[in-house]
Structure 1
Amino acid sequence: MPIEEVEMQIRGLMMDPVTNMPIVVLKDIASDQVLPIWVGLFEANAIALELEKTATPRPMTHDLLRNFARGLNARVEKVVVSELRQDTFYAVIWMDHAGERVTIDARPSDAIALALRSDCPIYVARDVLNRSRQVADGAGNINAEELRKWLENLNDDEMGRYKM
């Protein structure tokens, strides 16, 4: 049975006010549902550079990956945040190489940075969206649900607080 995927867009990139770690906020394009994913500083910078269309004097790692794929006549078709295991998200990069489908395991932050550079869609497995909400609810973790509601209601100015 195929996995149902929900198309997402990057709603914003910001700093978590509690942990002071960057958060990529993905938003369902068909609803207000959001999925926050905490990422490392370097990955957040790679995402921010592309979101802001900032040119760098030399290719950064995710630019290199895009260029490598192009050099091998491969195309990044989509990225999917595919699993949530023990509070860790997993992603898959879907590529086409000469008509053959190739999948590559990746961290969501790397997959998102590559998706931005490859101009391809970002998806989250429906099960991951449901489980991330259940984990927040089931653990009695009021803070996680409050954070989700807070993220859903942020305006564009508040979403852009991440600074490189």
Structure 2
Amino acid sequence: MLLVDLIGIQMDPLTGVALLVLREHDAPNRVLPIVVGGAEAASIAMAAQGQTLPRPMTHDLMATLVERFDGHLDAVEVVDFQDGAFIANLAVSGPTGDLRLDTRPSDAIALAVRLHAPLFVSEHVLDEAGTYPEPEGESALDDAEIDAEVDQFRDFLDQLAPDDFILGAADADAD
């Protein structure tokens, strides 16, 4: 298991999908994006910023239960990636012993942020679902390659005629 840090929550502006972004602690160029629901993203963001509501949210209640029953959240472990879904465990210890509880990563991370528990990800999960984002301001193509791509696309556009965009009755029957 590798220690990771929660580095942020991002919203995809096109789809509105929320992503938790975890970064490998000892290899800060590898990240693990995890799609989460909007409510879970809001819960994690509020806790990370130290914000509270007048009434407890579900994750606040879970944290209170762990503490009131003399438990301790030892760690969150993202242990597998199956059919596009991440599998996580809560490692909890208490007066009755140690437990591993199956959970969604979003709920586990929401609880970990509240209880200041470390986050771990299995190396095989990072290998399978982790990414190496481009450094800020860098592109896979250099300026000359970008200019060549733009010129090639302009040439293509210059060769188009209005008739290229009209589906004739004969063409429609062929489909």
TM range (shorter): 0.7 to 0.9
More RCO (CA 8 Å, sep 6+): 1
Q: Which residue of 2 aligns with 1:104?
A: 101
1:11-32 deviation per Cα after TM superposition (whole angstroms, max 9, x unaligned)? 1111123422110000011112
Give the TM-score taking structure 2 as reference length: 0.73
Contact conserved, 2:30 with 2:133, CA < 8 A, in 1? no
Instruction: Name the larger-Rg structure.
Output: 2
Q: Which residue of 1 aligns with 2:38?
A: 41
Q: Which residue of 2 aligns with 1:124?
A: 121
Alignment RMSD, CA only? Answer: 1.6
> Which letter does structure 2 place at the counterpart of 1:28?
E
Provide the secondary structure at the position in 1 that maps to 2:80. strand
1:120-152 deviation per Cα after TM superposition (whole angstroms, max 9, x unaligned)? 10010111111214xxxxxxxxxxx6xx515x6
Q: Which residue of 2 aligns with 1:161?
A: none
Q: Give the distance between the partners of 1:117 and 1:66, measured in 2 at CA.
A: 7
Q: Give the distance between the partners of 1:11 and 1:117, measured in 2 at CA.
A: 15
- Point out the more displaced range, 39-48 or 93-102: 93-102
Flag structure 1 segments of 5+ consecutive residues without an equivalent: 134-144, 155-164
> Which letter does structure 1 place at the counterpart of 2:82?
R
Provide the secondary structure at the position in 2 that maps to 1:38. strand
Flag structure 2 segments of 5+ consecutive residues without an equivalent: 138-175
Provide the secondary structure at the position in 2 that maps to 1:8. strand
**4+ residue runs over 3 A deviation:** none
Q: Which residue of 1 aligns with 2:133?
A: 149
> Which letter does structure 2 place at the counterpart of 1:20?
G
Q: Which residue of 2 aligns with 1:16?
A: 12
Provide the secondary structure at the position in 1 that maps to 2:41. helix
> Which letter does structure 2 place at the counterpart of 1:149?
P
